Structure 1
Amino acid sequence: MTITQLYYVLAVAENQNFTKAAEKCFVTQPTLSMQIQKLEDELDVQIFDRSKKPIELTDVGKKIVIQARNIVNESYRIQDIVDQQKGFIGGEFKLGIIPTVMPTLLPMFLKAFIKKHPKVKLKIEELTTEEIITRINDGHLDAAIAATPLEEENIKERALFYEPFVCYIPQGHRLHGKSKIEIADLDIDDMLLLEDGHCFREGVINLCKAFKDHTDDEFQLESGSIETLIKLSNEGLGMTLLPYLHTLDMRENEKKNLHYFSEPSPAREVSIIFHKSELKMQIIESLQEVIAGIIRGAIAFQDVKIISPIHKK
């Protein structure tokens, strides 16, 4: 049994196709198939049911894949140990960022991080929280920046900052004249929301449900972007809630519609998250240090109440 064979097994399990798996592993399909067949012969079991289209794992194959992923991850740790011993911070690093954090946070830290660590090749993707969790568990992301806590057994979280919620209330709205907003003032029925799949949406829903009992089918108007929510609100179609960093670069005429909550302000916890196997920790720790140093000057709020991003029924 070799680590390469286990790596090939993981590739086939993910792609459910020998040809696609071979392409991902940069080997020929006969080579990959032969190595997996050797492993199956050695173990005297069938890992894959080749009669199914697409290919499926057998019952024992599912258990083998779980263990194979642990072994392959641990093999990567050896290179990590060597890199840390040498003080080397470099190589490819795959980072996921949720959509409501990406446009505001990434421009703040990316240039500083690249300048500090030019040997790190960052590959950054904008992904939903659900996609991030799947990819971290499958070993396809080294880390991610997401709203927490997520309560995922295999994922560790390190808080980067606490980002308050800010109300965007257009003129003519019942709350526009209030200097400070209370959570009890919110009514989900006149709230513009992000589309399903955004964790910030779930945070807003959880915040409103703390005081009023509503069901998801009452929500009327949703959008895929915060910018669109602001435009819809400007048209008098309702108020919305924004993450604080989104308010920093707004036009002056739109800033007049910003209203802050009474303390403690509801806020989301934004963290760097990674698999509990803790691979590439030297890069993760450096990202945490760079982001924390930059964000400290942007968010001065201290007295906050963390709102969960997890969907609550």
Structure 2
Amino acid sequence: MTITQLQYVLAVAEHQNFTKAAQKVFVTQPTLSMQIQKLEEELDVQIFDRSKKPIQLTETGRKIVTQARNIVNESDRIQDIVDQQKGFIGGVFRLGVIPTIMPTLLPMFLNNFIKKYPRVKLKIEELNTEAIVERLKDGHLDAAIAATPLELQGIKEQVLYYEPFVAYVPAGHRLSKKDKIEVEDLEIDDMLLLEDGHCFKDGILNLCKASRDYENDKFQLESGSFETLVKLSNEGLGMTLLPYLHTLDIKESESKQLRMFSDPVPAREVSLIYNKSELKIQIIEALRSTIAGVVKGAIAFQNVKIISPLKTNEKLR
């Protein structure tokens, strides 16, 4: 049994196709098939059910893949230990970022990071939280930036900053004359929300301690864009909530519609999350310090109430 054979097994398990798996690991399809067959003969088990399309893992195969992933990750750890010992910060690093953080945070730190760490090749994907967690556990991401707390087994969370919720209240709205608003002022059925799958929407629902009743709505909106929500709000279709960093780039004419919450300000916790194996921890730490350095001046709120993206779980900071 070799590490290479296990890597081939993982590739087939992921792509459910021998040809695609061979392309992924840069070998010919016959070579990959032969090595997997040799492993199956050595173990005297069938890992894949080749009679099904797409190819499926057998029951034993699923257990083997779980263990193979652990072994391959631990073998990568050896090179990681050497890199850390040498002080080397470089190589490919796969980073996931949730959609409500990507457009505001990435421009703030990316240029600084690539100048400071030119030997790191960042591969950045915009993914929702569910996809991020799955890819972290499968080893397809090295780290991610997401709203926390998630409190998931096997995943570490390193807080980067706390980002307040800011209300966008159009002229003529019932709250438009208030300088600051209270959480109790919010009515979920008067709120324009992002589409399902965005943890920022889940945070708002937790903040309001309510679920949306769509039966009485005159329209149903599914948008992944804060800009769309602001435009619809300007048309008098309701108010919305925005992440604080998003408000820094809002049009001057629209900034008059922004309203902060009274203390403690509801906020989301934004963290760098990664597998507890801490592979490539030197790059993770480089990312953390770079991001912390640029957001420190942009977000200076201390008295905040953390709203969980997954459940009603408030924390005072």
Structure 2: which amino acid aligns with 1:232? L
Secondary structure at 2:267 match in 1: strand
Describe the superposition over 1:4-25 as per-residue Cα deviations: whole angstroms up to 9, x where unpaired. 0000000000111111101111
Relative to the length of structure 1, the TM-score reads 0.96
C-alpha displacement of 1:311: 5.4
Match of 1:107 in 2: 107
C-alpha displacement of 1:215: 4.3
Is 1:199 the counterpart of 2:196 in the alignment?
no
Identity over the aligned pairs, expressed in percent?
A: 76
Choose which of 208, 211, 216 in structure 2 pairs with 1:214: 211
- Structure 2: how far apart are the matches of 1:201 and 1:150? 15
Q: List gaps (5 residues or longer) in structure 2.
A: 313-317
The answer to whether the 8 Å contact 1:192/1:222 transfers is no
The answer to whether the 8 Å contact 2:188/2:212 transfers is no
- Structure 1: how far apart are the matches of 2:14 and 2:221? 37
Counting only pairs closer than 5 Å after superposition, residues 166-185 of structure 1 correspond to structure 2 as 166-185=166-185
Structure 1: which amino acid aligns with 2:300? A
C-alpha displacement of 1:226: 0.7
- Structure 2: how far apart are the matches of 1:103 and 1:274? 21
The answer to whether the 8 Å contact 2:168/2:240 transfers is yes
C-alpha displacement of 1:217: 3.9
C-alpha displacement of 1:222: 3.5
C-alpha displacement of 1:56: 0.7
Is 1:127 the counterpart of 2:123 in the alignment?
no
C-alpha displacement of 1:180: 1.3
Paired residue total: 309
Structure 2: which amino acid aligns with 1:203? G
- Structure 1: how far apart are the matches of 2:61 and 2:213? 39
Q: List gaps (5 residues or longer) in structure 1.
A: none
Structure 2: which amino acid aligns with 1:214? S
- Structure 2: how far apart are the matches of 1:46 and 1:61? 7
Cα gap change, 1:183 to 1:251, in 2 (>3 Å): same
- Structure 2: how far apart are the matches of 1:286 and 1:215? 41
- Structure 1: how far apart are the matches of 2:72 and 2:274? 16
Secondary structure at 2:124 match in 1: strand
The answer to whether the 8 Å contact 2:189/2:213 transfers is no
Counting only pairs closer than 5 Å after superposition, residues 85-100 of structure 1 correspond to structure 2 as 85-100=85-100
Match of 2:58 in 1: 58
In the TM superposition, structure 1's runs of 4+ consecutive aligned residues that sit over 2 Å from their partners are: 213-222
- Structure 2: how far apart are the matches of 1:277 and 1:6? 19
- Structure 2: how far apart are the matches of 1:5 and 1:33? 10
- Structure 2: how far apart are the matches of 1:128 and 1:305? 23
Match of 1:280 in 2: 280
Match of 2:304 in 1: 304
Structure 1: which amino acid aligns with 2:136? I
Structure 2: which amino acid aligns with 1:72? V
- Structure 2: how far apart are the matches of 1:92 and 1:7? 18
